[in-house]
Structure 1
Amino acid sequence: MSCFSKKEMEPLEADKVKELTIVLLGKVGVGKSASGNTILGNEGGFPIATGIRATTMECCKKHNEINNRKVVVVDTPGLSNLNRTNEEVVAEIKRSISLTDPGPHVFLLVLKFGDRFTEEEINILKIIRSTFGKNTNAHTMILFTNKDQKPKEESEHYIRSNKDLLGLVTACKWNYHVFDNNDQEHNEVPELLEKMSTMVQKAGGLVYTPEMLKEAETELRKQEQDAGKEGKSVSLEIPTYAGVLVGCATGYLAAGGGTMTSAAGAAIGGGVGAILGAGVAGLVMYVKGYFDPKTTRGDWL
């Protein structure tokens, strides 16, 4: 169901989108900064990495006037950074929303055309999705970077070759583009801008707002709390049940030569075993940090 009302969704002609604000997202080394430079032309200037090490360590904002339209691009640090945790990178990426006041029109998710769509890419998408929340898809376009422009048929074959990649593109309503950052003439920029303008037009010209980010943060905290409760419950249950079984068996056997019945011994042993099992579970959970309020969601995955 759409999160926009009918009034908010009144048509806005693509050629009337006089300003485009874009936030570049993706992992290290996929060509985010180079894509930003290609979009902005001679007014680019984002530093470009020569290897897998990141050069963009904080959000950087630049703009240019292109075909009578102001285009603002915010480059962000790449995820899967060798020198920073994803949590540190995400904290910086969030700053892009305030840099684009009142907010970006488009999240341009940069992927390398032809690369295998691995678990790493899937995890990065989960991080982006959980960071920006349910409103992400309506504002996301996928940009595949590649040395050579590919025909549409080859692009679609690549997308359909992986179910997870196909699911991503489908969720973004097939809003994607293939870019050649080595094209010195920047011939693909007008088409990309037109695609983004059409996407913005369909969204009624609305932007992703700081309020949407706060909503996403609240939802993520709730998910973390729910996951924490579930994780603690499971962690307690296993050793507790084990303690009950061991206690019952011990009590039953010990009662065989004593004054109490085997049934009574088993009951007493089971109770003692449950207490000991829960105690051991609590100690293990404490050591592992389950009770630490700073525990991250990743601990329960």
Structure 2
Amino acid sequence: MSLYKMGGDMMEDDWEFASSSNPNRTLVLVGRTGNGKSATGNSILGKKAFKSKASSRGVTSTSELRRVVQEDGQIINVIDTPGLFDLSTAAEFIGKEIVRCITLAEGGIHAVLLVFTVRGRPTDEEQSVLYHLQTLFGSKISDYMIIVFTGGDDLEDNDETLEDYLGQECPEFLKEILELCDNRMVLFDNKTTNKRKKAEQVQKLLSLVDAVARKNNGKPFTDELFHELQVETKLKETAKRLEKQLGEEQAARLEAEERANEVQKRSSDEIKKLRENLERAEKETKELQKKLGKCINL
């Protein structure tokens, strides 16, 4: 076993113990500050790898990766992220963290764990989380999403199940997210000391990760796919920009043609008036000449 440095932190590198028949899995935790992302990461890893405490202010300031090797040799990589979609988070910071997250996930992202809490109602900023994810990663990202609800101990204290909670409290945007990810969801109690309960909730999560892998034919969300989506997005943006530019040019051309037609019509009207004035002047001149001729004859 060796030690190496990642993002300023020392981590155990157990890579050499991995079995080729048990490929590593990389999971990314995403959600609002205070929903329990770091605590969930610790539950998955089975150790206190991430700083976690009950606070409205984020403890995680930048994306961090930690890993654990299971008994069967499978490596589980967990990437904890700061509150990327909090209202106070700047767009530039979000962009940098997404790039860092993709960089940390060297072999690709096998599942995005979207973390909500059953303690209280979802906030306004959480209602736009799906939009933000799809904007950054493309609509394909929903195929990799698993919804993790934290606060399982609260439900247990009230003799409620997750299904009870969703039936009574589930808002429309959350129903939409669950539908998009084929209802892949799991409830976590990050405070429990019951080893069996800890193992069961992690095992359920990993079975959902396997379901995600099957859905995507074993292909993780990779840097290459991310760039493909970015290129696709840029192409769409370019197409929209060109379409808008073409529309503006066409509108300008029509306006110019209308202006030219107005000028031409105005010129035609002016020429017609000039011709009429000239004809009237010629007529008046001829009448004047006739009158002059009669005066001379007299």
Superposition TM-score, scaled by structure 1 size: 0.64
How big is the shift at 1:142? Answer: 0.6
Residue of structure 2 in register with 1:58 after alignment: 62
CA deviation vs aligned residue, 1:186-223 (integer Å, no higher than 9, x gap): 65543333233323434244422221111111122123
Q: Which runs of 5+ in 1 are unaligned?
A: 1-15, 262-301
How big is the shift at 1:61? Answer: 0.8
Q: Secondary structure of the residue that 1:94 maps to in structure 2?
A: helix
- In the aligned structure 2, how far is the partner of 1:182 from the partner of 1:39? 13
What are the residue-to-residue correspondences of 1:1-301 with 2, within 5 Å? 19-48=24-53, 50-51=55-56, 53-66=57-70, 68=72, 69-81=74-86, 84-113=89-118, 114-116=120-122, 118=124, 120-146=125-151, 148-149=154-155, 150-158=160-168, 161-162=171-172, 164-185=173-194, 188-202=197-211, 203-204=213-214, 205-229=218-242
How big is the shift at 1:73? Answer: 0.8
Of structures 1 and 2, the one with the larger relative CO (CA 8 A, separation 6+) is 1
Letter in 2 for 1:167: E
- In the aligned structure 2, how far is the partner of 1:239 from the partner of 1:168? 43
- In the aligned structure 2, how far is the partner of 1:74 from the partner of 1:181? 17
CA deviation vs aligned residue, 1:66-96 (integer Å, no higher than 9, x gap): 5544322111122234654134213312322
* Cα pair distance change 1:237/1:115, threshold 3 Å: farther
Letter in 2 for 1:59: S
- In the aligned structure 2, how far is the partner of 1:227 from the partner of 1:185? 55
- In the aligned structure 2, how far is the partner of 1:219 from the partner of 1:20? 27
- In the aligned structure 2, how far is the partner of 1:193 from the partner of 1:45? 17
- In the aligned structure 1, how far is the partner of 2:201 from the partner of 2:144? 14
Letter in 2 for 1:224: E
- In the aligned structure 2, how far is the partner of 1:28 from the partner of 1:230? 40
Residue correspondences, number: 242
Q: Secondary structure of the residue that 1:42 maps to in structure 2?
A: coil
How big is the shift at 1:126? Answer: 1.6
* Cα pair distance change 1:143/1:159, threshold 3 Å: farther
* Cα pair distance change 1:19/1:235, threshold 3 Å: same
Q: Which stretch of structure 1 is more off in the superposition, 172-181 or 80-89?
A: 80-89
Q: Between the two proteins, what is the percent identity of the paired residues?
A: 26
Letter in 1 for 2:188: F
| Residue pair 1:41, 1:186 contacting (<8 A) in 2 also | no
How big is the shift at 1:143? Answer: 0.8
Q: Secondary structure of the residue that 2:47 maps to in structure 1?
A: helix
Q: Which runs of 5+ in 2 are unaligned?
A: 1-20, 274-298
Letter in 2 for 1:176: M
| Residue pair 1:62, 1:72 contacting (<8 A) in 2 also | yes
| Residue pair 2:114, 2:146 contacting (<8 A) in 1 also | yes
Letter in 2 for 1:154: D
Q: CA RMSD in A?
A: 3.7
